[in-house]
Structure 1
Amino acid sequence: MPRKRSTDDDELLVRLRSLTAQARERAEYQRSQVELAIALQRGMLPPDLPDTPRFHLAVRYAPACYGLNVGGDWYDAFPLPDGHIGLTIGDVQGHNIEAAAFMGQVRVALRALASVTGEPGELLARTNDLLVSLGSDLFATCTFMRLDPEAGVLESARAGHVPFVWATADGKSGVGEDEGGPPLGIEPGIDYPVARYRLTTGGMFVLLTDGVVEGPSLPIEEGLDQVVRLAGVAAVAGLDAQSLAAAVIKGAERVGHEDDAAVLVMGHEGPDATP
């Protein structure tokens, strides 16, 4: 004879249905937040890159998509009013929709202020002061470079960001040793030193975010050494910027966590230029 369902059973079923509905709502909310953050990321990244004779740009970008672990890495490249090319890469603190939105603010600020000054140190200083004035709790690391394609000279300033990697066709390679300054958005009135480099035929510059070279399974020193080796091989072998960018982003799989990973490679494939 079937057992008669008690009032307690009915109450338990009601509670289970309620908990299931709440869990479904939370999952749907998280999914929508992730989709929105990814849409913000993609919408803020440039649809194309400047086409400059003798200099070739290549990018790779892998957003983190584990749960709400969506960050604010970005890259950008655009012509400046004086005919130079601006190159930037950066990373916003945090992994959520706020980080993705703040990334958009930083990228727009850099582009807008670059129309006033393309000098890397001054540009980072002005962007930093603007972000501080917004009163956000977030901050961003960033590298900004200005390329003079006629002279083959690259000027660089760094705000708390991972150093770039360089390589030349004669077998030399290494990590940039410019001084740099603190991240953007923490303290006003900061000066950012500018370093200058001369590009030669076959030379490579690799800008990247820490998601490419650092994580639980990969110390940053080892990660940077890995990119140095890849860049050195690519420069000596005469590989193009696209091939090197693909190889560097592939190496990000070794870091041991889910994080944004961005790579911007510049290769000089024309005749040597003198500053």
Structure 2
Amino acid sequence: MGVRDAMHRNALLGEPTVMSAPHLPKVAGIDPVVPVSTQTAAPLKAVPPAPAALIQDRLASWVSDLTTLHELTERLAGTSTLDDALRELLGAGAALVGARRGLLVLEPADGAVTSRTIGLGLAHAELGHIETVPRDATPYGSLLDGLPGTDGPLACPDIPGDASLDPRCREVAARLGYAASYALPLTTVAAGRLGAAVWLYDEPAEPLERQCHLIGLYARHASEHLARLTELERARADIAAIAEELLPIRLPRVPGVRLAVRHRSAPRGGGDWYDALPLPDDALGLAVGSVGGTGPAALAAMGRLRAGLRAYAVMEGEDPVAVLSDLELLLRLTEPATAATALYAYCEPGRRTVLLAGAGHTPPLVTGDRRTAFVETSLSAPLGMLSCWEAPSVEFSPGSGETVLLYTDGLLRRTADSMDHAFARLHAAAAGAPKVLRQDPGALADHVLHTLLPDGLDRDGDGEDVVLLAARFD
């Protein structure tokens, strides 16, 4: 806002050289720009410009440029996601070169992240028109493909009048109303070529030498920032893929109950998990849990904990207390410095009974047409905090058409409310679900999530995993 608007209003970089040139002093009240009469016997000698004034003007110009560059790089450094950084780079570059529109193509040479194109002042359809031009005929395509003579910026100061350009290039320029372009490669020594940015002028034009110098400095700094964010996005994608591989690929089908799950991992990789496994006699085991911490260590602990629970659920049968007791022992032996919460429910859909035990975990919520209530579970410590864990189990019977919601506390924490208020909002979201949505556990889960988190599960900056497992009993 402030920097770019001020630059466009004052035309800092496009100021005519006449405005900044030193004025010749007046001598004896005569303006020196007025020609001396030929009747003068001895014309005045040319008065040289004052060196001090010239140096002062240049210093002021340099200070102004450095201040502008500093403010723009500070704004860029404040971006924490790749998409935000790309938009900031494109907008700041347009201000520096005096353009109104542009586009940026991110296409890392190593394929670190998915290629993407963003526009400034260009609608999606207009970007589509530009992409119909043969790639090697576009400035960004030449830069990305490393064609000969594309080591630096590419300027097309007069697109309509340049007969050497591809006819399709001039046709699209005429249709979209731009007459000149200035393109820069985005490269770093370590990562190589990351992409290219192109700024578009409404009239034939070309940035001044001073503008080219500033945008070059800014682009070098921006490329390093983009390289770091690209690597970070790739690491986050790898962590998310690992987390998904550690969780069930698909939910089982058991007569009398329908299942749905919604799960998102934190950017740095959290330890929230869930499981649903068919057991003998058409029984069903449901589990949710959370391991403290983030990153690879939390993911590894989560994977071991879930694998252990599956084994104990098969061995211990219908005793959820014994399952969590065995899990406590496993955690103390394999992850002595880790704390975790867990909830395990042994379900018999044919009889519509649920026997569950929890270790420091949030209570399930039962919702239907006639009631919405939290299940009263016994107070217990998280796994790994006691030398021996054991708490009584709780049995309840969901009615026909009721849904049991199991979730992790990340769902509550993402609301940014106090826990009491978050519980109340969860209850209200489930109770207020339309009747038609209650027929489908997936639709009900989506409604609850949208009500609690209007910005969605993928909102940037959230540091909490979310798990919501819904089981609807027929």
Same fold, judged at TM 0.5 (above): yes
The one of 116, 121, 128 equivalent to 2:328 is 128
> With structure 2 as the length reference, what TM-score do the two structures score?
0.48
Where do residues 11-26 of structure 1 align in structure 2 (5 Å cutoff)? none
1:78 alignment counterpart? 277
Question: In structure 2, what is the Cα distance between the partners aligned to 1:144 and 1:99?
Answer: 20
Establish whether residue 174 from structure 1 lines up as the match of residue 373 from structure 2. Answer: yes
Q: CA deviation at 1:97?
A: 1.6
2:344 alignment counterpart? 144
Listed one character per residue, the Cα deviations across residues 88-127 of structure 1 (whole Å, up to 9, x for unaligned) are 1111111222111111111001001112113111100111
> With structure 1 as the length reference, what TM-score do the two structures score?
0.80
Establish whether residue 185 from structure 1 lines up as the match of residue 384 from structure 2. Answer: yes
* 8 Å Cα contact 1:166-1:228 kept in structure 2: no
Secondary structure of 1:154's aligned partner = strand
When residues 222 and 84 of structure 1 are mapped into structure 2, their CA distance, relative to the original with a 3 A threshold, is: same
Q: CA deviation at 1:33?
A: 4.3
2:426 alignment counterpart? 227
The one of 294, 301, 315 equivalent to 1:116 is 315
2:293 alignment counterpart? 94
When residues 24 and 227 of structure 1 are mapped into structure 2, their CA distance, relative to the original with a 3 A threshold, is: closer
Establish whether residue 105 from structure 1 lines up as the match of residue 307 from structure 2. Answer: no
Return the letter of the residue paired with 1:183.
P
Question: In structure 1, what is the Cα distance between the partners aligned to 2:412 and 2:451?
Answer: 8
Q: Which ranges in structure 2 are unaligned for 5 or more consecutive residues?
A: 1-188, 191-220, 456-460
The one of 373, 384, 400 equivalent to 1:201 is 400
Q: Percent identity?
A: 28
* 8 Å Cα contact 2:410-2:464 kept in structure 1: yes
Establish whether residue 52 from structure 1 lines up as the match of residue 254 from structure 2. Answer: yes
* 8 Å Cα contact 1:249-1:262 kept in structure 2: no
2:96 alignment counterpart? none
1:268 alignment counterpart? 473
Return the letter of the residue paired with 1:137.
A
Q: Which one scores higher on RCO, CA 8 angstroms, separation ≥ 6?
A: 1
Question: In structure 2, what is the Cα distance between the partners aligned to 1:22 and 1:116?
Answer: 54
Listed one character per residue, the Cα deviations across residues 27-77 of structure 1 (whole Å, up to 9, x for unaligned) are 677555434422221001111112122311111012222xx3x21111110
Where do residues 227-246 of structure 1 align in structure 2 (5 Å cutoff)? 227-234=426-433, 238-246=438-446
* 8 Å Cα contact 1:122-1:192 kept in structure 2: no
Question: In structure 1, what is the Cα distance between the partners aligned to 2:332 and 2:281?
Answer: 28
* 8 Å Cα contact 1:76-1:88 kept in structure 2: yes
When residues 187 and 254 of structure 1 are mapped into structure 2, their CA distance, relative to the original with a 3 A threshold, is: farther
2:464 alignment counterpart? 259
Question: In structure 2, what is the Cα distance between the partners aligned to 1:135 and 1:42?
Answer: 21
Q: CA deviation at 1:215?
A: 4.5
* RMSD (Å) for aligned C-alpha atoms: 2.8
Return the letter of the residue paired with 2:466.
A
* 8 Å Cα contact 1:124-1:192 kept in structure 2: no
Secondary structure of 1:218's aligned partner = coil
Question: In structure 1, what is the Cα distance between the partners aligned to 2:316 and 2:418?
Answer: 36
* 8 Å Cα contact 1:90-1:143 kept in structure 2: yes
* 8 Å Cα contact 2:415-2:453 kept in structure 1: no
2:214 alignment counterpart? none
* 8 Å Cα contact 2:339-2:383 kept in structure 1: yes
* 8 Å Cα contact 1:213-1:224 kept in structure 2: yes
* 8 Å Cα contact 2:400-2:473 kept in structure 1: yes
Question: In structure 1, what is the Cα distance between the partners aligned to 2:239 and 2:316?
Answer: 30
Establish whether residue 39 from structure 1 lines up as the match of residue 266 from structure 2. Answer: no
Listed one character per residue, the Cα deviations across residues 117-141 of structure 1 (whole Å, up to 9, x for unaligned) are 1311110011111110114312211
Q: How many residues were matched structurally? A: 249
* 8 Å Cα contact 1:165-1:173 kept in structure 2: yes
When residues 23 and 214 of structure 1 are mapped into structure 2, their CA distance, relative to the original with a 3 A threshold, is: closer
Return the letter of the residue paired with 2:245.
G
1:13 alignment counterpart? none
Question: In structure 2, what is the Cα distance between the partners aligned to 1:40 and 1:193?
Answer: 34
Question: In structure 2, what is the Cα distance between the partners aligned to 1:49 and 1:128?
Answer: 25
